[in-house]
Every structure is written in C-alpha cells, then in structure tokens.
Structure 1
Amino acid sequence: MTRIINRQPNRYGRIVLGVLPFIILLLLYLSASDARLAENPNDKLLPAFSSFAEAIERMAFEPSKRTGEYLLWQDTLASLLRLAMGVGISALIGLLIGIGNGMVPYMRSPLSPLVTALSLIPPMAILPILFIVFGLGEVSKVVLIVIGISPIIVRDLQLRTDALPNEQLLKAQTLGGNSWQIIVRVVLPQIMPRLIEAIRLTLGSAWLFLIAAEAIAATEGLGYRIFLVRRYLSMDVILPYVLWITALAFAMDWSLKRLSLLAFPWYHASKGGRDD
C-alpha cells in the first residue's frame, strides 16, 4: 500500500489543488456579499464585484481631480521605492555582518549579542522614536524596514555560515588562501542563494512595516491610501488595494525564486528540487 506521504500529484493536479482554495474563497465571498446586499443594497462591508471594477477604474485609470495623477500607480511607485531601499540596505547589512559574524570571531563576539538584542525589539514600538529622530519623511520609513528585517537576515546568514563544512575552509587554507580569499571565493558563493532565501522569508515583514509607517505618516503610498479611505468604509477600494499588494509581493517572491534558480542551479539541485 502506497503511503500518503509518498504520493505526489502530477503537474495538472498541483495546478488544480493550488487554485482550488482561491475558488472556494471566491465562492464564499460571493455568497456572503449577495446575502448582505439582498438585505441592504447600500451595504459597504462586502461590496459587489461591480463596485470593485468602478473603484479600480477610478483609482487606476482616471486622473485625480485634486492632483491630476493616477492614484494607484502613484501609490505603488512610492511604496515600491521605499520597500526596495529598505530591503536592499537590509540585504547588504545582512550579508556583510552575517558572514563577518560567522567567519571572524573578533567580529562575532561584540556584534552577535547586539544583533540578537536588536532582533528581539518590536520594530513598531520604536516607530515614534524614528519619527522623532528622522522626521516624517522617507528616511524613517526605510529605517523601520531595515531595523525590522536586517537582524533576522544577519542571524540567518550567520547560522548558514557557521554550518559550512570545516573541510572546505581547511582545504582552502591548506592551498594558501588568506582570510579574504576564503570569504570571497569559498564562503560568499555558498551564502548568496541563502541570502535570497532570507530576503524571500522577510518580504512579508518588510511589507508590514512599510504599510504601518505609511499609515501613520505619509502623503502617498499603498498603506497611506488604505488607511485614508477606511474612514469612509470604502471596502471597494481597500480590498483591491490589499489584493494588489498581495500580487506585488507574490511577483517579487517569484522573481527572487527564479533569480536563485538561474544563478545558483547547483544549490537547488542539492536540495533535490524541492523549492518553496
């Protein structure tokens, strides 16, 4: 008898199983929306799809009467720029300090406890401090993302560096490699795919910190727009914005996965082709 843990769906089965939960959620929403609108045609909690279409057309394809700009695309660009800066800086910090802590004991001794302590601080708790220190502009939002995810990336890469086989490092030293050469030519190539994995795992948190910062102090951005229209109970705008953020996050995650597959095929082959 074939055990269920050894049974694998075929390609079309995986597609069907992947789409099925979304279809079920869609049907549940349609059922609940129809029931509420039947009782109250002006209900705003679960608007009909026609309301979504009108809101998307108004936000994405009609210029604002106040500014003349297309709000959805303006908000998207502002949020993506902040997110790219925050994640990029975090990745660089994570790579440098993560490898340094994993390879250089004199660097690990003072920095590792500090990184551990920073990773335990709730980033949202220090958001008011960031606004006081850096103001209400772009810097405070980017810094919040950096503080929120860079310690996680650092700790992950430090652990991955520590887990590298000692035989590789000993052989490189035997062949005459100095510390810099060993880090650049032995450690770095093996850590890069793990850096991409760490970024993928922290993208959700980065979006969370960005939306929170935009909701409190911003004049544009996806988070700003969601919290601006909530006072009017504009679910026809909020839900499409949430779905748009989800689509952007999914596209970023998929792009990073494809980049890793193309740049480091040996890494994924060593995992037996099991990629999330």
Structure 2
Amino acid sequence: MVEIQKSLKGLYYYRGVIDGYGGPMTTGAVKEFQSDRSLVVDGYAGPVTQGELDEVVKAVQSAVGVVTDGDYGPVTQSAVERFQSSHGLTVDGYAGAKTMAALGVSRTKGSNPDPDPDPGGSGELVVINQMDTGPMSDENCGPTSAVITLYALGRPPSGSHKEAVMNMREACRIPAGTWGSDVSHLIQGLGAYDTDARKVDYASALAAAADGKPVILNVNHGVLLGGAPSYGHYVVARGTNSAGEFYVSDPGRASLGIKGYSRSRLEAAARYNRGIIVG
C-alpha cells in the first residue's frame, strides 16, 4: 500500500500521509485514478489498477528523463520540479493534470493531452454545507473550513464535497468522542495535504485575510450572525470587497453564500483570540 500511495501522491491523486493505511482518503484516490483510466471504479488497487498506475508513473519518468522504474521517489520528484520550474508551473514535484499536459502525457486513458486543463479550482472561496458531510456533520465546521481553504488555494481535494470533508476529518485525527475540533487538529489535517497552516492570534488572521490569504477564524457564531452569543464555530475569510468588508464562507450557514462582514463585526465575533493562516 505504501508504493501505491507514493504513486498516487506523485500523480496528485492522493493528498494524505504515506502510511500504508488504506483508509477513505486512499480509497478515494484509487477511485479517481480508476475513473481517469477507464478501469472498474471500486477503490481496490488490484493487479490491473497497479499495472496501470505503474504505466502512468513510467510515462512521466520517461518524459522528464529519469530511469523508468515505476518508483515515484525523490529522483522523479526532483526531475518533475526542474521541469515545472523551467515551464512556469507550480513547483511541487507532483505530476498533476497541468504538469502532465505540459509533459505530453495523457492523464485520462485514450485522451489527448489538454494544453490548458482545468486545474480544479478557481482559487476563490466556495460554499460547502457542513450539514451535508456525513454522520458527524454537526461537528464538521472545522474540517469543512479546512476543505474550503484548499479550494481557495486552487488545490481542491478529490471526490465530492462530502467525501472531501470526511477525508479531511480523518486526516485531522480528531479523537473519537471529541466535540468539534481544535485548531491543532485542523493544522494537522491540512498538513496531510502538504499545505502550510499556522496558528495565529485573531488580529493577525484578519490582517492576512485582508491581504488575500485564506484564513480560518474561530468565532462565536451567534455574534457573527448578529445575535446573542451561542457556540464556537469556524468560518473561512479571504479578501475584501470595495466597501472593506471581508468575504466569508460560513459552512454552518451555506444558504448565506459568500457573505461580506465588516471588520468590526468579525472583531466582535472573535472567540478564544485565535485563527489559522493557510498557505
């Protein structure tokens, strides 16, 4: 399973830790790869899927000029990074859709490389309803906010919103029986997606949001919505509009869409004076 995860991560299907554990995140990555390669989509990395995975990795290795051994290790990653740097691509060493297209390697079985593939995210805030994210939906404002920040970075995870949040919750390693999530859980979950995240005080988080960085804010939800104090909650803020209001995606109130809140409203809603800067 370790080698399968390495290959899937190298091809930018898998975003988790290389731990040999075939959990939901790995299964989702296998399904996405199987779908792209016109295989039976069952999430099981059997001989056929492994053979196809080996073939794609070798095609990438051949295109970047390294030994075609099917091992997406440090040598291959470094070669991909050099190619990305010389072609004006994001330098991360992963052969995602855009890098594969530039290499002339088909990501989808039988297709022609797309010279300008959709990278899978506009880099803007999106709305995800935490109440549609599975059995722990009442507690999923943190993992849902973490997924929203991945979209804001233009690096959306694979699968449906529900699958992405469930996988993020697993990556956060929130202890069973724990109500909600701590910022440390969210930082750990984002780290599993190779995404930098750091805990800061609330004012620093707002300053980063004003500069266009996606941030996760720990708020008192009732105050944020203009009412009385109620309960702790996480929302995502990024950027401001012409009136100086912060754009906010609230996973607990998806019906609001992307809403603008004044700095004073957000400052009043601060809870525990903490936030997370992502990316």
Report the TM-score when normalising by structure 2: 0.23
- Greater relative contact order structure (CA < 8 Å, 6+ sep): 1
Instruction: Determine which structure has the larger helix proportion and give its number.
Output: 1
Structure with the higher strand share, 1 or 2: 2
